[in-house]
Amino acid sequence: MMAAVCQQRRVLVEIPAPQAKIPGRIRRSYSEALSPGLVPSPLFRGRHSKRAQSLDLSIGGMDEKTPLSTQQLVQLIRSLIMVEQSKESRVAAPDLRSLQEDLQQKKANVYRSIPYSRFGSNRDAHCYRKAYPHLLAFKVSCQEWGQVLLRSQDWDGALEHALMAWRYTSQLPQWDTAGHNALREQCYRVLAAHALAALQHHRPDASRGRELLRRLSTARLHSQSIVPCIKELQRMMQRADDSSTDEETI
């Protein structure tokens, strides 16, 4: 009788096959082994987790070691990409409004980088070193976008960009050390070269010529680098007046 009861209570237990190994020496769980449609998630264990942690720490500490923030680096990379794309002939000339916003943003970054909480002058060598990467980014923007407009043969746009960037350059900080203001003069020379190259190909009418002459004369108050542009425009206007006089005489 007892043997019959034990025989009825006996349950057959199916022993599952050993779990197969997947790449990376990571075993699947028991539920994953029973569910063939479930895709195992890639989990880092052991030394892999330490490597991932060290990578995250190195990326996170980048902002503390570099003068530019992550957002500013992204903006700089986007600006460089836009410049490279604009170098192609099939890309139209950039919008002057977007270029103005770019200059405004870079000028604002210069002033944000200056520590105003320090005792003493905020135009000394220490503050200049803080602002130097942003000053350099401002110069690169003036140089690269002006060249893009010249390659696009947008002569009037190149003149407008040169005068607009000239105004923003005049609003940059004046530093206590004279040598620290050299980058500002470099921006003036670059912009003057762009304006002169545009004037050599551009033939504005009389009203536009008078407007440009007035604005160039105002820019002369900030730097004498614009003088060749003024002389070139005056020669153009003089030739236009002489030709119109000859036509009236005939």
Mean pLDDT of 122-145: 94
pLDDT digits (tens, 9 = 90+) for 230-250: 999 999 999 887 766 656 555
Q: How many CB atoms lie within 10 A of CB 183?
A: 18
Q: What is the pTM of this model?
A: 0.63
Instruction: Give pLDDT, residue 221.
Output: 95
Instruction: Specify which residues 26 forms β-bridges with.
Output: 22
Instruction: Give pLDDT, residue 145.
Output: 94
Instruction: Give pLDDT, residue 111.
Output: 95
Structural domains present in the chain:
94-243 (1.20.58.1590)
- Residues in Cβ contact with 49 at an 8 Å cutoff, skipping those fewer than 6 apart: none
Residue 116 pLDDT exceeds 90: no
**225 CB burial (10 A radius; 0-12, 13-18, 19+):** buried
Question: Do residues 150 and 197 make contact, with C-beta atoms less than 8 angstroms apart?
Answer: yes
What is d(CA 104, CA 126) in angstroms, rounded to the nearest whole number? 24
Q: How many CB atoms lie within 10 A of CB 191?
A: 27
Three-class SS of residue 26? strand
Tokens linked to 67: 């003068």
What is d(CA 135, CA 186) in angstroms, rounded to the nearest whole number? 11
